[in-house]
């Protein structure tokens, strides 16, 4: 018995022990978790002139990205200049983009749209356009149709890779039907920067302009100045995302995304769009102004932080809804929202609402229309803490409501509010 107890004690001690720390890391094949801190890495410059690669459109940036990806990663330095895009720059894991601040301007070219002249089935890899005047080989395009019976919309993003007249080959098969009876169209619409299944990327110090006045809308489920899908560990810093006919920066099912010290302004839809299923986003020290919604927590966004942002002159400052739980909104200044500073959206009952979110230590200035609510909590939303916030009103007129709780809400705690000008 004594021997058995000693063996058990030794096993417990063994299980409780910590493995030795890594003090002298070496670059080992396949080890992505621990690597040496190299003093210098690969940098490839692109510019309109006087650079490793010279050009003024997406092709020169893409060439640099692809070259570094082949070598295992590095940084593309996009020198000051103007780059006009007819297709997205497709990001690759481990390849960072760094501009030279306001002087690095990446602008979307005007869009063209035409109907399809012939039907294409789901197994096809070509389309025929009614009017091909605005389309070139190499263009990024968005193909859309809406089923006349069900209303279901089809949206497909592709690149035109060859042509004969108004007949174009695509880089990938359609895998969806595009029929004239469903109003099928082709448009030169795409994100400026696009990342899918790409991890460990930094994007910093550049200006992205969606040329909103000369482009049609493509919403944030498919595009934006930056659009990310199924990515991990993305850091976006010092980026201006403006004038897109859709979202400024959108990420869908992406985890551990950090957006800081950025400006997202004058976008048709959402300034920042932490999209469906995205875990642990950090949104810090940004300026979000003149969008429809400043920050839109989409579906199932959890354990996120929105801190010290200036969110100005949007219709809604911050929107929270479908299963967006356990997020912290703190230290932000939200002003000039024409509808609400913070909106908890009305969902399909408590099982779908955004619970256990905290709104702490924010400043709300001149938000909501007369008689409206600065913070509006709808549907079956539960367990919300609204603490130590300041509500300031300077406009006069019919009184606004600092916090409005819908009849189906539960466990809403409001404490420590400071009211000025009410």
Cβ atoms of 83 and 58 within 8 Å: the answer is yes
Whether the predicted pLDDT of 14 surpasses 60: no
Confidence of residue 115 (pLDDT cuts 50, 70, 90): very high
pLDDT of residue 11: 55
pLDDT of residue 422: 80
The model's pLDDT over 228-246, given as tens digits with 9 standing for 90+, comes to 999 999 999 999 999 999 9
The model's pLDDT over 252-303, given as tens digits with 9 standing for 90+, comes to 999 999 999 999 999 999 999 999 999 999 999 999 999 999 999 999 999 9
Whether the predicted pLDDT of 12 surpasses 80: no
Confidence of residue 17 (pLDDT cuts 50, 70, 90): confident
Of the given ranges (14-18, 29-33, 48-52, 337-341), which has the lowest mean pLDDT?
Answer: 14-18
The model's pLDDT over 139-158, given as tens digits with 9 standing for 90+, comes to 999 999 999 999 999 999 99
Q: Looking at residues 50-79, what average pLDDT do you find?
A: 98
The 3-class secondary structure across the chain, one letter per residue, is: CHHHHHHHHHHHHHHHCCCCCCCCCCCCCCCCCCCCCCCCCCEEEEECCCCCEECCCHHHHHHHHHHHHHCCCEEEEECCEEEEECCCEECCCCEEEEECHHHEEEEECCCCEEEECCCECCCCCEEEECCCCCCCCCCEEEEEEECCCCCCEEEEEEEEEEEECCEEEECCCCCCCECHHHCCEEECCCCCEEEECCEEEEEEEEEEECCHHHCCCCCCCCCCCEEEECCEEEEEEEEEEECCCCCCEEEECCEEEEEECCEEECCCCEEEEECCCCECCEEECCEEECCCEEEECCCCCECCEEECCEEECCCEEEEECCCCCCCEEECCEEECCCCEEEEECCCCCHHHCCCCCEEECCEEECCCCCCCEEEEECCCCEEEEEECCEEECCCCCCCCEEEEECCCCEEEEEECCEEECC
Whether the predicted pLDDT of 411 surpasses 90: yes
pLDDT of residue 240: 98
pLDDT of residue 3: 63
Q: Looking at residues 354-372, what average pLDDT do you find?
A: 97
Q: In angstroms, rounded to a whole number, what is the distance separating the alpha carbons of residues 286 and 288? A: 6
Q: Looking at residues 188-198, what average pLDDT do you find?
A: 98
pLDDT of residue 396: 87
* Percentage with pLDDT > 90 across the chain: 91
Q: Looking at residues 11-20, what average pLDDT do you find?
A: 71
Whether the predicted pLDDT of 47 surpasses 70: yes
pLDDT of residue 13: 60
pLDDT of residue 18: 87
Confidence of residue 309 (pLDDT cuts 50, 70, 90): very high
pLDDT of residue 10: 58
Confidence of residue 4 (pLDDT cuts 50, 70, 90): low
């Amino acid at each position: 018995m004594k021997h058995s107890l000693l063996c058990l004690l030794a096993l417990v001690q063994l299980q409780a022990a910590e493995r030795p720390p890594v003090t002298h890391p070496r670059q080992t094949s396949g080890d992505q978790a621990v690597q040496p801190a190299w003093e210098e890495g690969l940098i490839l410059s692109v510019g309109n002139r006087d650079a490793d690669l010279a050009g003024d459109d997406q092709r020169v940036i893409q060439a640099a990205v692809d070259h570094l990806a082949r070598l295992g990663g590095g940084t593309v330095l996009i020198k000051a200049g103007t780059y006009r895009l007819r297709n997205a720059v497709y990001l690759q894991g481990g390849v960072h983009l760094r501009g030279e601040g306001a002087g690095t301007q990446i602008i979307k070219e005007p869009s063209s749209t035409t109907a399809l002249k012939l039907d294409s089935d789901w197994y096809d890899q070509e389309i025929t356009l009614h009017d091909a005047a605005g389309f070139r080989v190499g263009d990024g395009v968005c193909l859309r149709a809406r089923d006349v019976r069900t209303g279901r919309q089809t949206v497909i993003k592709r690149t035109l890779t060859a042509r004969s007249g108004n007949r174009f080959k695509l880089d990938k098969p359609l895998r969806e039907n595009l029929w004239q009876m469903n109003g099928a169209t082709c448009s030169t619409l795409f994100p400026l920067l696009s990342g899918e299944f790409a991890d460990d990327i930094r994007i910093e110090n550049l200006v992205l302009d969606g040329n909103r006045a000369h482009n049609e809308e493509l919403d944030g489920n498919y595009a934006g100045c930056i659009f990310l899908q199924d990515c991990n560990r993305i850091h976006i810093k010092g980026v201006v995302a403006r004038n897109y006919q859709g979202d400024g920066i959108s990420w869908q099912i992406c985890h551990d995304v950090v957006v800081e010290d950025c400006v997202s302004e004058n976008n048709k839809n959402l300034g920042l769009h932490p999209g469906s299923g995205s875990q642990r986003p950090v949104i810090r020290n940004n300026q979000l102004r003149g969008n429809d919604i400043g920050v839109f927590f989409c579906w199932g966004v959890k354990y996120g932080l929105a801190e010290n942002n200036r969110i100005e002159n949007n219709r809604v400052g911050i929107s929270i809804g479908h299963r967006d739980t356990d997020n912290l909104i703190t230290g932000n200044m939200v002003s000039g929202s024409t509808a609400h500073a913070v909106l908890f959206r009305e969902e399909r009952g408590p099982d779908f609402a955004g619970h256990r979110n905290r709104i702490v230590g924010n400043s709300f200035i001149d938000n909501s229309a007369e008689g409206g609510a600065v913070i509006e909590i709808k549907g079956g939303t539960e367990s919300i803490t609204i603490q130590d916030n300041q509500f300031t009103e300077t406009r006069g007129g019919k009184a606004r409501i600092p916090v409005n709780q819908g009849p189906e809400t539960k466990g809403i705690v409001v404490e420590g509010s400071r009211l000025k000008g009410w």
